[in-house]
Amino acid sequence: MSIDLDKAELLALLERGFSPPEIAKTMGTTPPTIRQRIAALQQEQGVLLQYRQLQNLRLTELQHAILEAITPEKIAEAPLNVLVQAFKILKDKELVMTGNPTEIKGLVGYLVELEKQEIAITLNSNPEPVIEQEKEETYIPRLQ
């Protein structure tokens, strides 16, 4: 015998973060019944409930296609700001996927700083070094 539960109400409670025992109490049934109904909904919905995983796969597929289209000739011809923007976009997506969306390190950070210097030079201002040296051995050239 199957208990007819309101699908919309069940989904609304799940969206609000209710646990199966809390949902069961609210809907007047048992936690195992709620778990079974959730499992049935997941099976009905299939791929739709795996949206985040599929989104990451799609992002990887797009990155692969973009990176395959990049040739050494195109890189050599591209202006620095375009290269920096491309690296930054890819790095931002990677950082979001790893859980550090605001962190910019390494080559991308270096390229962003180089772009800032290039912009300062093109605006005919007196650019100040925007990259602080972490160690004495670290040398970062200024664009001129």
Q: Tell me: do 79 and 12 sit in the same domain.
A: no
33 Rama class: left (phi>0) / alpha (psi -120 to 50) / beta? alpha
pTM over 0.85: no
Residue 59 lies in a domain: no
**CA Rg value for the chain:** 26
CA distance 110 to 131: 8
Q: Do 77 and 115 share a domain, yes or no? A: yes
Span 132-144, pLDDT tens digits: 545 545 556 556 5
Indicate whether 33 and 81 sit together in one domain.
no
Please give the residue range of the domain that contains residue 94. Answer: 70-144
Name which of 93, 123, 126, 98 is nearest 108 in CA terms: 93
Residues 41 and 83 in one domain: no
Q: pLDDT tens, 9-51? A: 888 888 888 888 999 999 999 999 999 988 888 777 766 666 6
Q: At what angle do helices 20-27 and 31-45 cross, to 10 degrees?
A: 110
The total domain count for the chain is 2
In a domain, 1, yes or no: no
- In tens, the pLDDT along 96-139 reads 777 766 655 677 777 778 888 888 888 866 555 555 545 545 55
Q: Are residues 46 and 74 located together in one domain of the fold?
A: no
